[in-house]
Amino acid sequence: MAMSVYLYFLLLFISVLSFVLSYFFTIALEGVLRKEGKTVPDVHKREKPMVPRPGGPAIFISLLIPALILFLLNGDRRILGVLILASIGFLIGLYDDFKRLGGREKVLLLTLPGIALVLSGIYFPKPILPFIGVTRLTIIYPVLLILASTIIANGVNMIDIFNGLVSSVMMISTIPILLASIMRNDSTLAFLSVIFLCSLAGFLLRHRYPSKIFPGDSGAMLMGLFYLGLVVEGRMEVIGIVALLPVILNGFLILSTIGGFIEHSNIAKRPISVILRKEGEPLLISSKEEGAPITLTRLIVSREGLTERDVVLNIVLLSIFSSILAIATVFIGELA
Amino acid sequence: MVRETFEIMGLLLIAWIMLLFFFFVMNIAVYLTEELPPFTRGVSRGALGVLLLIIWLFLYLVLRNVYAKTKGIKPPKLFIG
């Protein structure tokens, strides 16, 4: 009984801490970035307001401090595994925010978090698969982990295109991970999932439409790799893939259309066009150009133009749907 | 919520069912390779697993190309097109 009261108190403490740190550091960072002139235009708005970027450092601090407190309290090395992935991803993203990396460089550099985790040895090559149960993939797992590091980080970065989208999608995708952690009595993973959820919730309050700040590559890559850390350390690989199906679809849609890894700002033909109306918000419509990337947004607006808010709502609904499928996968996995 | 979102949900559902079907096939393969020597068993299971994962991804991409065509969007001219 005493233990569970302690756990409840700890859960409450780290939830509030990550939320408060995220929210207030984000507000503070907005001021600093504006002062330093680190702003970019919000291209889907009529007035194209300048928005501070990157908000990644605020998310990073709000994840790092509660996660380290948790590590000091329970000494679970898996927390360090998650932090290795997330920290290296964040640093690569931060460099990209200020110096701009090429598409191929980014893809190659983002294998580094995976390589670091493999070298640290803080992973378990024994994923729990639906129908099969616990498997042992000692040889192939490290290779898949390195590939997943770059695929997930880039995939999440590619979905960071509208106000509040990436933080909402990542929050929704974390819910099946939290649920599976609770079902498996894995308190460390449950705590880390809650830290991630609360940190993203704090950030989302400033990132939601109309955005006061953008996460930037540092924020998006951090989110992607923290999520990958949860999935790997929790041995929830399949659940993680299913929850991220729309993100994977969007990433491969772009890659297969443009035929390789190109920095998204360097793609000549845009997948969508912004139409300014006399009244109301601008409409996003599908590009008529041949060879323009086929993105999730382009598919959604292929028949009729939608406002940015409506597109975000539709992608969030897709994310909720894939998370429901991921929750169903949790139950199928438990049956094995 | 537009019609396309429902249609993409259908696409995701098919992709999920395909993924589960491949794990089901893999489960049968695990059962059938039980008697093999450890090295052969590990390599054959690993190779089959990776092959099934690649086939799943390939089918997922073919599926969305077919869907993109129905929307009047020309799919890419790559092997997966």
Contact (CB<8Å) A139/B74: no
Mean pLDDT of A115-140: 90
Q: Is residue A244 over pLDDT 70? A: yes
Q: Is B14 on the interface with A (CB under 8 A)?
A: no
pLDDT the model gives residue B75: 66
Q: Is B25 on the interface with A (CB under 8 A)?
A: no
Q: Is B81 on the interface with A (CB under 8 A)?
A: yes
Which band of pLDDT confidence, cut at 50, 70 and 90, is reported for residue A254? low
Burial letters B19-38, b for 16+ CB under 10 A, else e = bbebbeebbebbeeeeeeee
Q: Is A249 on the interface with B (CB under 8 A)?
A: yes
The distance of B36 to chain A (nearest Cα, Å) reads 16
The neighbouring-strand residues paired with A39 are A52
Q: Is residue A154 part of a domain?
A: yes
Q: Is B8 on the interface with A (CB under 8 A)?
A: yes
Q: Is A147 on the interface with B (CB under 8 A)?
A: no
CA nearest neighbour of B12 among A299, A171, A293:
A299
Q: Is residue A334 part of a domain?
A: no
Contact indicator for A34, A206 with CB cutoff of 8 Å: no
Average per-residue pLDDT for chain A:
90
Say whether pTM exceeds 0.90.
Answer: yes
Q: What percent of chain A is modeled with pLDDT above 70?
A: 93
Mean pLDDT of A127-144: 87
Which band of pLDDT confidence, cut at 50, 70 and 90, is reported for residue A194? very high
The distance of A267 to chain B (nearest Cα, Å) reads 15
pLDDT the model gives residue A134: 86
Q: Is residue A269 over pLDDT 80? A: no
Range of the domain at A170: 2-127+137-237
Q: Is residue B74 over pLDDT 80? A: no
The distance of A245 to chain B (nearest Cα, Å) reads 7
Q: Is residue A305 over pLDDT 80? A: yes
pLDDT the model gives residue A3: 59
Contact (CB<8Å) A256/B2: no
Smallest CA–CA distance from B45 into chain A, residue? A137
The distance of A257 to chain B (nearest Cα, Å) reads 5
Q: Which among B3, B9, B50 has the least Cβ separation from residue A303?
A: B3
Write a three-state SS string for A244-309: CHHHHHHHHHHHHHHCCCCCHHHCCCCCEEEECCCCCCCEEEECCCCCCCCCHHHHHCCCCCEEHH
Q: Which residues of chain B have a CB within 8 Å of the CB of A313? A: 1
Q: Which among A140, A294, A314 has the least Cβ separation from residue B73?
A: A294
pLDDT digits (tens, 9 = 90+) for A201-223: 999 999 999 999 999 999 999 99
Q: Is B15 on the interface with A (CB under 8 A)?
A: yes
Mean pLDDT of A159-182: 96
Mean pLDDT of A220-242: 95
Q: Which among A253, A286, A314 has the least Cβ separation from residue B64?
A: A253
Q: Is B5 on the interface with A (CB under 8 A)?
A: yes
Q: Is residue A242 part of a domain?
A: no
Q: Is A255 on the interface with B (CB under 8 A)?
A: no
pLDDT the model gives residue B72: 82
Give how many domains chain A has, as a whole number.
Answer: 1
Q: Is B58 on the interface with A (CB under 8 A)?
A: no
CA nearest neighbour of A11 among A199, A186, A194, A171:
A194
What single-letter DSSP state applies at residue A133?
E
Helix, strand, or coil here: A124? coil
Contact (CB<8Å) B61/A314: no
Which band of pLDDT confidence, cut at 50, 70 and 90, is reported for residue B16? very high
Q: Is residue A256 over pLDDT 70? A: no
Q: What percent of chain A is modeled with pLDDT above 90?
A: 70
